[in-house]
Structure 1
Amino acid sequence: MEILPIKRKKIDALLKQCRHLNIFPFHLEQYYPKTEPHPVADILEDLMPDVIDQLHEMSDEKIRTFVESLPAETKYLIDLRTNESTDDTKLERIAFKYIVALIQREYISFKKIVSADLNESEVLKIYPEIAELLDKDGLLNIDQRFQMFDGGIKYKHHFFHYHQFLRRGYVSNPNFDFLGRFIRYYLESNKTNTFRVAIDHTRIMPKEFFAHMFERGGWFGPPFNREKLDDPREIGLFVVERRRPSLFDADGKLDRTEFLWSFRNGIKTFQIEEISNSEYFHDPYYINRFVHSERDTADQNLRHFDGAVKIYLNNHYEDRISSRITDSARSFKKIKLFRLDGEINLDRWIDLIAMFFRGNEMIIEYFDPDLFEETFGNKIRQYQESLG
């Protein structure tokens, strides 16, 4: 994409406000032309004339070349037929699409997310006392000072965003299904359980801009067979592979999901890691969701549950693809996203696992094959038949 010599300070200001206020680049059209005061609308109103002036300096042929350099998803509404000149209305539309493309290109940087530095935290700049409430994994200890919503955490005059890896596909809105259940369980059991969750330190939202958002989606929390949960002999590795061609690849290309039970000193440990397909990477990283739990079999108590993402470097991921969770290659980094400790209800545990791995049908296939067949069997067969 061709880059115009626009003042970087204005672009950075727009990018920062979009991220703080959770405004995705393709939603910028809601803020231009400006209809009411708003930080994003104010910046766009100031920035647009700069871009339009740059376009006015170009010939029609140069403008066509410029438009062709824009990403396909951005330029599709721009009509530049060769027998038409570029009038002011068209230049304004091109200028706006260029700004959208520029913000889209820089809106999410997985390199910055993976290498996040608390010394640069936007949250701690405003509320330095929050540093005392972060554990060694950077998780925020939730207590009565905070009010959790599925779209963010209210603290004093702001909302904290949940970590980027707690968003759908790592790039969209928060995983409302998981977070909603996480919050409800917190409200029901915070006197006996401790709850911690990862927040995004690169952005923070003034409370007056918070809008509670909801999504509708079809996903199911599978029931769980408890009969052998406390049997120390019931351990080992179980692997569920995604059947291909797969209609589930639209939610993320996964190769398989690995489930591992182990037992030591009276504690039964359970781990789940989904293995991304080698084609499904973000910047130089492969990102796999991971869950770890501990159960005291003598007390019949699920005492610990945490979730994370494992980050693998592009040039080493083949080592993970070719191994299993029992002897897998070490990840480049593991980023903890939430943690519960205490006396965790089994039904809520299963529900939270299912929603944390939202978009991964293999979770249901492992926990309840009958439910999987009932829910997805016909859809899978119809999809495969449609492909011939």
Structure 2
Amino acid sequence: MDREERIKRHLAYLAQEKADELEKNKSLIKAFIDYCKQFEIDLNSSNFDYQQGLGILCNSKDIVLKINPEITTDKEGLFDFHHLLKTYTKKSFSEGALFADNYIIFANSYYRRGFYENNNFAPRFIDHFWRHDFQENEVSLALDLNRVRIDTEGPILIEEDTWYGANFSENIATIKDGVTNLRPPQYLNEFELDFVFASAFALDVYWYSYEKIKVFQALEFKQPNVTIKIEGNSYFPVRYVHAEYDLDKETFRHFDGAIQFYTEAEYYERRENNFNSKVKGEYQVKSMSKKLFKINGDFSVDDWIKFTSHFFAKNPLILEYFEGKEPDHLVPYLEAFKKEKGIT
């Protein structure tokens, strides 16, 4: 059996599985349709889907806001995490999900592997977010507003992963202001870049200071073959992190992350200019963007390292920046690639 035939059979299996699961859950779907009528949401069978690992999904514009009008967003489209936990329940082994009696809501799909809504969450930012003790912080995050899961007792997808946070021992106060540009080795081809660098093109880091505050910013550019479709248009996704360190208190006081969506022209211009286009110390963002999380209040250096390392999931450049060298797990792969290409 050749590869094309295997793919054909696999797709046929998935289609049959979806049909079987939707048929098996007809009563559950009808009950949820009836439940939503009280919120003046008109649903039918076309609003429901099944995905392996995600279960029976109801897709409808802003359904999360409509079935729970008590939860509201701030001006950046984020939700107060503490308020969410008073309304919904966290469960073990279900990081990224919040449970009501008859439906489940999710963290935003841009936290998922490859930014794709039907994948599992990328390692391990959401896991740490769900397990962290934020009692001393104001904390908020973005949600997937347009779908909920309705088989609340269904199976969950658990994936093992070997992505770990970075080691870091440098004193924040002693870090020099300025821009650092990191790139993967130029001898890697597209497949190798995808395999060991998660298709990273660059990671640009910028520190600057004002008064008693030291500011960290980082931009992650992917290779130009990585794009996202939004309302029929293609954009280049660029992950962005911003944090503020209080030099007197020796702790971070603010931390947030976003994903920016560049047009082709913006992408090629910005990836070369990186933070050199800054104005008055602040990186100016004119592209379309989506804020994904925000944490205010004392936040330790160790926690900042952990969350930043996992926000830039699978990109060894962030580990290289924090540790000052290529990660140990990467060295055998790079040596093998160089040997194959005759590079000494």
With structure 2 as the length reference, what TM-score do the two structures score?
Answer: 0.74
Structure ID, larger Rg:
1
Separation in 2, partners of 1:291, 1:337? 10
1:277 aligns with 2:232: no
Superposed counterparts of 1:251-270, under 5 Å: 252-270=198-216
- Structure 1 stretch 247-256 or stretch 315-324: which is displaced more? 247-256
- Offset of residue 249 of structure 1: 1.4
Contact (CA 8 Å) 2:254, 2:296: kept in 1 or not?
yes
| Structure 2 SS opposite 1:337 | strand
* Amino acid aligned to 2:312: F
Is the Cα–Cα contact under 8 Å of residues 261 and 269 in structure 1 kept in the other structure?
A: yes
Q: Residues 282-321 of structure 1: CA distance to partner in whole angstroms, max 9, x if unpaired? A: 2310001111101110111211111110111124322112
State the alpha-carbon separation in 2 of the partners of residues 361 and 208 from structure 1: 36
Paired with 1:176 and 1:36, the residues of 2 have a C-alpha distance of 33
The answer as to whether partners of 2:123 and 2:161 remain within 8 angstroms in 1 is no
Matched position secondary structure for 1:218: coil
Q: Deviations over 1:303-356 (max 9, x none)?
A: 111111011112432211221223167442121111111111221211111111
The equivalent of 1:377 in structure 2 is 331
User: Counterpart amino acid of 1:385?
Assistant: K
User: In the superposition, relative to structure 1, how do residues 363 and 208 fare at CA in structure 2: closer, same or farther (>3 Å)?
Assistant: same
1:202 matched to 2:146? The reply is yes
Structure-1 residue corresponding to 2:18: 31
Q: CA deviation at 1:265?
A: 1.7
Match of 1:142 in 2: 81
Q: Give the equivalent residue in structure 1 for 2:281.
A: none
Question: Percent identity at matched positions?
Answer: 24
Q: Distance in 2 between matches of 1:194 and 1:170?
A: 26
Distance (whole Å) between structure 2 residues aligned to residue 337 and residue 355 of structure 1: 14
What amino acid is aligned across from residue 139 of structure 1 in structure 2?
L
Greater strand share, structure number: 2
Cα separation, 2, equivalents of 1:386 and 1:153 = 48
Structure 1 distance, partners of 2:220, 2:13, is 30
Choose from 112, 132, 147 the match for 1:167: 112
Aligned to 2:183: 241
| 1:230 partnered with 2:173 | yes
The partner residue of 2:130 within 167, 183, 194 is 183
Rounded to whole Å, the distance in 2 between the matches of 1:25 and 1:272 is 43
| Correspondence for 2:165 among 210, 221, 226 | 221
**How far apart are the structure 1 equivalents of 2:336 and 2:307?**
30
Question: Is the contact made by 1:151 and 1:212 (CA closer than 8 Å) also made in structure 2?
Answer: no
**Partners of 2:123 and 2:163 within 8 A in 1:** no
Q: Post-superposition shift, 1:262?
A: 0.6
SS in 2 for 1:386: helix
Aligned to 2:40: none
Aligned residue type for 2:136 = T
Aligned residues: 284
- Alignment partners' CA distance in 2, 1:136 and 1:208: 31
In 1, the alpha carbon distance for the partners of 2:307 and 2:113 equals 15
Distance 1:33 1:152, change over 3 A: closer
Q: State the alpha-carbon separation in 2 of the partners of residues 173 and 25 from structure 1.
A: 22
Q: Does 1:310 align with 2:257?
A: no
Q: CA–CA distance in 2 between the matches of 1:359 and 1:373?
A: 12
Match of 1:319, SS state, is helix
- Structure number with higher helix proportion: 1
Deviation by residue 1:184-226 (Cα, 9 ceiling, x = unmatched):
21xx2x2211221100111112262554322112212111123
Give the superposition deviation at 1:25. Answer: 9.9
| Structure 1 position 122 matched with structure 2 position 71 | no
* CA deviation vs aligned residue, 1:342-384 (integer Å, no higher than 9, x gap): 11122121111111111111001111134x3422112111134
Partner SS for 1:230: helix
| CA distance, structure 1, for counterparts of residue 81 and residue 293 of structure 2 | 10
**Could you list the per-position Cα deviations for residues 141-198 of structure 1 after superposition, in whole angstroms to 9, with x for gaps in the alignment?**
011413344131224542212112111110122224111111221xx2x221122110
Q: Does 1:151 align with 2:96?
A: yes
Q: Partner residue of 1:92? A: none
Q: Letter of the aligned partner of 2:217 in structure 1? A: Q
> Counterparts of 1:327 and 1:209 in 2: how far apart (Å)?
50
TM-score, length basis structure 1 = 0.66
Unaligned stretches of 5+ in structure 1?
1-23, 44-102, 105-118
What's the secondary structure of 1:318's corresponding residue? helix
Q: Give the Cα separation in 2 of the matches to 1:179 and 1:34.
A: 28
- C-alpha contact (below 8 Å) 1:33/1:41 kept by paired residues: no
Deviates more, 1:141-150 or 1:175-184: 141-150
Higher alpha-carbon deviation: 31-40 or 346-355: 31-40
Unpaired runs of 5+ in structure 2? 1-10, 31-49, 52-59, 279-283
What amino acid is the match of 2:165? G
Cα deviation per residue 1:10-65 (whole Å; 9 max; x = unaligned)? Answer: xxxxxxxxxxxxxx99844433456971259999xxxxxxxxxxxxxxxxxxxxxx
- What amino acid is aligned across from residue 122 of structure 1 in structure 2? I
Q: CA RMSD in A?
A: 3.0
Contact 2:123/2:313 (<8 A) preserved: no
Q: Secondary structure at the match of 1:325?
A: helix
Q: Is the 8 A contact 1:310 1:333 kept in 2?
A: yes
Shift of the 120–34 alpha-carbon distance from structure 1 to 2, 3 Å rule, reads closer
